[in-house]
């Protein structure tokens, strides 16, 4: 790795409108496109216990029209201007974003401001989107082999309802959602002072400021919702569960651990430990299980980062005749080894190069930049973290990784979900 290599800092300007809307601007004229991201500080963690899935259903309603935009007009305005758009919901936030030719910046701001100001909700549109969301649930979860395992293990890892319940929700709760629920949710959570707007790409800063003030400046602020308690004890809610999956062709298992919040030293160290354990063909578990023992068809792992207690997962689909407990023992042995001896110098070099490579590639896309900026602004109150996040990760030492693995990847805060095929063959 070149010692002299240094990424140039992003040009970032941030300000807050009188109504509390936080704005982040990142001009970059390399390609004549512009990306807008609006992040609302509401996710499934804010849901009532009789309205699971509501934050996501609400996200769908944001495409169903507002005072000056007809139903589905949002899609159509963006697409006929040559843009792409979408929205997503997680436990932490709901985001809406679009990328357009640079000349269409006013359109993007108009569309986002119209729905922030004046979402129009009808019973008919709610019923229609309820059906679309149910089909999304069937498509992604209910009709997929292993499709429900991540929702199930979250219920095992977390004790606090805010953290444990699924983002897609239950069919019963989706059925129960009313137009009044949608209106209340909009008023409480979709206020300008509960959101961040970020813009990245080819635009003139002064023009962008003027347009943002024009479109968003007089949207009324609202009293902020009360602080949410997402705290968790260290131990998981349930350490073992067997799940009969009617669609799974093979047995499988998923292990999850409860770990500290995103951007803590411990979380960062465990994120890097994950790279060592399961990322890529040279990772330890790939070499042990897919190669070596040749016992596993598919191995995967990832971290789920949240503002509160977070999690890390390792899962495997073993070959049908294999002993699942032996595979789990191999995984735990490899974790013990990492907890005892720490990463090797060559593993640390790999992590360093991968982090730099990822950071450089992220910079290519105006949408990636806009989203990252919005996330730092919303979660940490500081979009400029985008200029130091790489250094933050590179500063994690081998010893910190070893200690985090030793402390957190043990059995007390571990949940094991065993998947048993239960189909008719």
Contacts of other proteins in 36-65 (CB under 8 A): none
- Give the Cα-Cα-Cα angle 275, 276, 278 (nearest 5 degrees): 65
**Do the beta carbons of residue 55 and residue 85 sit within 8 Å?**
no
Residue whose CB is less far from other proteins, 283 or 415: 283
Interface with other proteins, residue 202, by CB under 8 A: yes
How many other CB atoms are found less than 10 A from the CB of residue 38? 29
- Beta-carbon contacts of 409 under 8 Å, excluding residues fewer than 6 positions away, are 257, 270, 273, 312, 335, 339
Q: Which of residues 134, 258, 306, 307 is near other proteins by CB under 8 A?
A: 134
Residue 339 tokens, joined: 């907890």
Q: Which of residues 9, 15, 18, 32 is near other proteins by CB under 8 A?
A: 32
CA distance 293 to 280: 17
CA distance 42 to 21: 15
Give me Rg for the CA atoms of the chain.
23
How many other CB atoms are found less than 10 A from the CB of residue 405? 26
CA distance 22 to 199: 11
Q: Min. distance of Cβ 402 from other proteins in angstroms?
A: 20
Interface with other proteins, residue 365, by CB under 8 A: yes
Residue whose CB is less far from other proteins, 27 or 145: 145
Interface with other proteins, residue 341, by CB under 8 A: no
Binding mask 81-100 for other proteins (x = CB under 8 A): xxxx--------------xx
219 SS3 class: coil
Q: Which of residues 235, 242, 244, 294 is near other proteins by CB under 8 A?
A: 294
Q: Which stretch binds other proteins (CB under 8 A): 214-222, 266-274, 385-393, 399-407?
A: 214-222
Residue whose CB is less far from other proteins, 135 or 337: 135
Alpha-carbon distances, residue 215 vs 17, 108, 111, 357, 378 (angstroms): 11, 10, 9, 38, 21
Interface with other proteins, residue 129, by CB under 8 A: yes
Interface with other proteins, residue 380, by CB under 8 A: no
- Kindly state the DSSP code that residue 386 receives in the 8-state scheme: G
Q: Which of residues 12, 230, 355, 393 is near other proteins by CB under 8 A?
A: 355
Residue whose CB is less far from other proteins, 48 or 291: 291
Q: Which stretch binds other proteins (CB under 8 A): 135-143, 192-200, 230-238, 405-413?
A: 135-143
Q: Which stretch binds other proteins (CB under 8 A): 246-254, 261-269, 372-380, 405-413?
A: 246-254
Residue whose CB is less far from other proteins, 162 or 317: 317
């Amino acid at each position: 790795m070149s010692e002299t290599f240094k990424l140039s800092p992003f040009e970032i300007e941030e300000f807050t409108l009188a109504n509390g809307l936080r704005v982040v601007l990142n001009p970059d004229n390399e390609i004549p496109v512009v990306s807008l991201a609006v992040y609302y500080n509401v996710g499934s963690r804010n849901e009532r216990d009789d309205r699971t899935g509501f934050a996501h259903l609400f996200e769908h309603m944001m495409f169903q029209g507002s005072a000056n935009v007809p139903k589905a007009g949002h899609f159509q305005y963006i697409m006929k201007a040559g843009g792409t758009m979408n929205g997503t919901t997680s436990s932490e936030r709901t985001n809406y974003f679009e990328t357009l030719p640079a000349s269409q910046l006013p359109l993007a701001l108009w569309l986002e401001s119209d729905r922030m100001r004046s979402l129009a909700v009808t019973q008919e549109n709610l019923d229609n989107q309820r059906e679309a969301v149910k089909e999304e649930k069937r498509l992604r979860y209910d009709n997929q082999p292993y499709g429900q395992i991540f929702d199930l293990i979250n219920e095992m890892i977390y004790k606090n309802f805010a953290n444990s319940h699924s983002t897609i929700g239950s069919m019963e709760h989706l059925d129960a959602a009313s137009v009044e629920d949608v209106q209340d949710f909009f008023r409480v959570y979709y206020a300008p002072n509960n959101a961040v707007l970020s813009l990245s790409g080819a635009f003139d800063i002064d023009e962008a400021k003027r347009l943002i003030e024009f479109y968003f400046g007089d949207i009324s602020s609202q009293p902020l919702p009360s602080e949410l308690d997402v705290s968790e004890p260290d131990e998981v809610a349930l350490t073992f569960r067997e799940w009969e999956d009617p669609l799974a062709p093979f047995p499988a298992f998923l292990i999850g651990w409860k770990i500290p919040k995103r951007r803590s030293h411990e979380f960062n160290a465990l994120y890097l430990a994950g790279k060592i354990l399961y990322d890529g063909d040279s990772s330890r578990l790939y070499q042990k299980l897919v190669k070596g023992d040749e016992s596993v068809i598919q191995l995967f792992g990832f971290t789920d980062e949240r503002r509160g207690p977070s999690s890390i997962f390792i899962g495997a689909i073993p070959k049908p005749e294999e002993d699942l407990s032996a595979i789990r023992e191999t995984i735990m042995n490899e974790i013990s080894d990492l907890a005892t001896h720490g990463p090797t110098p060559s593993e640390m070099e790999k992590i360093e190069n991968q982090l730099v490579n990822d950071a450089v590639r992220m910079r290519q896309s105006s949408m990636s930049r806009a989203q990252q900026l919005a996330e730092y602004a919303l979660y940490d109150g500081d979009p400029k973290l985008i200029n130091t996040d790489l250094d933050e990760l590179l500063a994690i030492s081998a010893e910190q990784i070893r200690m985090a693995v030793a402390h957190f990847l043990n059995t007390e805060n571990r949940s094991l979900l065993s998947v048993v095929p239960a189909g008719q063959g």
